Amino acid sequence: MAVGIALAALVVAFLSFAFGLWQSHEGTVAIRQEQTDRREQIGYFWASEWARQQPVVYPVLTLEWRNLTGTNPVDVYLPLKNGGRGPARNVTGVITETGYDEPPHTRIAVVTIAAGDRVNARLLTPGVRYWSGAEGKLEYTDLVGGSYETPFTINNDTSGEWEVRVGETIHTAPQ
């Protein structure tokens, strides 16, 4: 009889041990699933946060720039502003003077602009001689590799006021 009780106790101990292992495995699986779910949530959060860090670059005709109209410094730079929430990397572009059979094209030197900053972007040779009616396009990237194109035109109306018209920015998501 004592052997039977000992054997029954041994079976109960073994079953308790097996049940404990099974519960432990179930808990481990649940924890791993929760870790995966949290990683996905954090991934979605960061993806949406990065998406909100988009730069928006456009020309701004500063008073200094307008006062230099017709002098040499206007030929060599264009004020640009990043009005977006994220930095604009590799900002470059081209400006085309209108009114010519073969209009001259002037490239904008590569620059990086922090969010909210303004820079005087250097123009490469030949420079712009006649800004009124000039058409341009800015190209730049964001931190995650998305690319942007922003068209613009610069005009001088009959009253002598300068204006810049910025077209719709085209965003291409990273591949």
Report residue 16's pLDDT band, with 50, 70 and 90 as the boundaries. confident
The better pLDDT of the pair 49, 146 is held by: 146
The better pLDDT of the pair 114, 25 is held by: 114
Q: What is the average pLDDT across 145-153?
A: 95
**For residues 154 and 131, what is the distance between their CA atoms, to the nearest angstrom?**
6
pLDDT at 35 over 70: yes
Q: What is the pTM for the complete model shown?
A: 0.69
The better pLDDT of the pair 77, 19 is held by: 77
pLDDT value of residue 21: 65
User: 44-81, pLDDT tens digit by residue?
Assistant: 776 666 667 899 999 998 888 877 765 554 567 899 99
Q: What is the average pLDDT across 25-49?
A: 73
pLDDT value of residue 98: 85
pLDDT at 146 over 60: yes
The answer to whether residues 137 and 93 touch, using CB atoms and an 8 Å cutoff, is yes
The overall average pLDDT reported for the chain is: 83
Report residue 5's pLDDT band, with 50, 70 and 90 as the boundaries. confident
The CATH number of domain 57-172, selected from 2.60.40, 2.60.120, 2.30.30, 3.90.350: 2.60.40
Residue 127, sorted as left (phi over 0), alpha (psi -120 to 50) or beta, turns out to be left
